[in-house]
Amino acid sequence: MTSTATTGTSGTPKAAVNLQRGEFANEAFIDFTKPENRKAMEEALAQVRGMFGREYPLTIGGERITTSEKIKSYNPSHPEQVIGVFQKATVEMANTAVEKAHAAFERWKRVPVEERVACLYRAADILRKRRYELDAWLSYEIGKTWPEADADIAELIDFCEYYGREALRLGAPQRLTPFRGEKNYLKYIPLGVGIVIPPWNFAAAIMGGMTVAAIVTGNTVVVKPSSDSPTIAAIFIDILYEAGVPGDVVSFFTGPGSTAGEALVTHPKTRFIAFTGSKEAGLRIAEQATKTQPGQVWIKRTVLEMGGKDAIVVDDEADVDAAVEGVALSAFGYQGQKCSACSRAIVAEKIYDEFLAKLVERVKKMKVGPIEDPANYMGPVINKAAMTSILGYIDHGKKEGRLVAGGKRAEGDGYFIEPTVIADVDRKARIFQEEIFGPVLAVTKAKDFDEALSMANDSEFGLTGAVYSQNAAKIARAEEEFHVGNLYMNRKCTGAMVGAHPFGGFNMSGTDSKSGGQDYLLLFTQAKTVSEKIGGTK
């Protein structure tokens, strides 16, 4: 159907949206090698630089609030630069945010799904118009190179478009098996108040994806972004308001996770928590959510996307050059700060030396430096604490293997680390087992394909993985035996695309939430079956 309404749910006039937008297709990436695109990005960087240091209020129940204590966000390429100033919310404010969201839920859940979807489609259109600006914010605040930043915004557009279509599909009554003498159907209804806790590394896509999935299904949310990446969240939530989402449906909340954040999770009127981040934080949320609070009348649902220790297996029947490229891009794209990043290369001994020599040659061509220069393949890691932790792992890794590339901090005042490769690593080594979340790759030799698969599965995580082989039988074996949520053959293990690669992992990698897939919106709903005896009663 085509929406003809011109008034949004907030009462503000909104442009009519055609809900028949055709079959979903992924948003194309910007080609920054084209002079006109490069010029547009340079202009956006200059524009955004002029907005550094602005203050952003909380938004709770549609009301904008400031606090006496502040939180600052910094540019990891130039840590002296303040990107934005944010509020340090209290436990009392957290409680108020949940209460206001709970009150708004009673109204929002009754808004027709078509109107909620129209809000997502309008938001996608606004994102397209402001794309270069939003790319620039991501580059400055979280150190993403231009292509990495643009992929983040493109994925957010994809989530708005894809989840809009999915909401229309699931919003209609679902057909059931006919039963004589009855009229029956199943419908999906929203859960209630959700707490959205996104990571800093995909500060636009994951933050926005979890948020729009929750609200398009009729829930209300409190969004608490990472203190390393609050700016893009503040901007996106304002975009949602502009697109017609009422101010009390989505609240923007910044504050300490150990106090105000825990208050959001443990509040008895919180119905679900959508989280992406570390294993430790995810397990803490899972534990808190299981504790029933006074007045709580449901079992809280958790949607958890956690860490990874992802492996790429390179078989002795692989295209070695293709494998080298796939491993290098998977390991060092966005400085290895992706839960899907390759941090273990498991290579058959017959080609081990050839692979390693070519990998080292490839990695040494990767330039590291500030994101303003598009020639830099890698930018900074997110903050000083991350840099210290990663360098500590490198120092330890030198004792567990043979350093063949990188190994130290790179030049510049930012948090730059060289792409680092450590070879001859044992499967029980710390750098083989523990998530480092930085540009560090452990390379391990396997005597055959059996041992390689065994090593790949020797992890508490199970997020992504890849296999390079030209042997169809080995690929078939990996499809059955490689225990990860996203497995790729003869390609890199990063770069999941909405709709094409539903994303989520096993074991300590989370609850296999499969974002960007047909099952994802079901996580934010509950099913209600309605059956009526035909003819009624007398």
278 plus 403 within the same structural domain: no
Q: Average pLDDT of 125-129?
A: 98
Is residue 1 over pLDDT 80?
no
Please return the burial class of 397, using the count of CB atoms within 10 Å of its CB with bins 0-12, 13-18 and 19+.
buried
Model pLDDT for residues 9-41, shown as the tens digit of each residue: 444 557 678 888 999 999 999 999 999 999 999
Is residue 305 part of the annotated active site? The answer reads yes
Residue 376 maps to a domain: yes
Q: Could you tell me the maximum CA-CA distance found in the chain, to the nearest angstrom?
A: 84
Q: Which domain holds residue 98?
A: 58-64+91-306+514-527
Q: Average pLDDT of 374-395?
A: 98
Residue 155 maps to a domain: yes
156 plus 246 within the same structural domain: yes
328 plus 467 within the same structural domain: yes
Residue 75 maps to a domain: no
Residue 35 maps to a domain: no
Q: What is the pLDDT of residue 18?
A: 84
Is residue 418 over pLDDT 90?
yes
Q: What's this model's pTM, rounded to 2 decimal places?
A: 0.96
Residue 120 maps to a domain: yes
Per the model's pLDDT, the better-predicted residue between 5 and 362 turns out to be 362
Q: Which CATH number characterizes residue 393's domain? A: 3.40.309.10
Q: What is the pLDDT of residue 13?
A: 53
Q: What is the pLDDT of residue 443?
A: 98
Model pLDDT for residues 163-218, shown as the tens digit of each residue: 999 999 999 999 999 999 999 999 999 999 999 999 999 999 999 999 999 999 99
Residue 333 maps to a domain: yes
Measured between alpha carbons, how far is 199 from 2 in angstroms, rounded to an integer? 36
461 plus 518 within the same structural domain: no
143 plus 234 within the same structural domain: yes
327 plus 213 within the same structural domain: no
Is residue 339 part of the annotated active site? The answer reads yes
Q: What is the pLDDT of residue 17?
A: 83
450 plus 327 within the same structural domain: yes
302 plus 315 within the same structural domain: no
Q: Say what percent of the chain tops pLDDT 70.
A: 97
Residue 22 maps to a domain: no
- Tally of domains in the chain: 2
316 plus 259 within the same structural domain: no
Strand partners, 525: 190
The tokens describing 151, both together, are 């992929």
Query: What band does 7 get if pLDDT is binned at 50, 70 and 90?
Result: very low
Catalytic residue among 305, 342, 435, 493: 305
Residue 534 maps to a domain: no
- Residue (of 238, 260, 313, 306) closest to 482 by Cα position: 313
Catalytic residue among 339, 418, 435, 493: 339
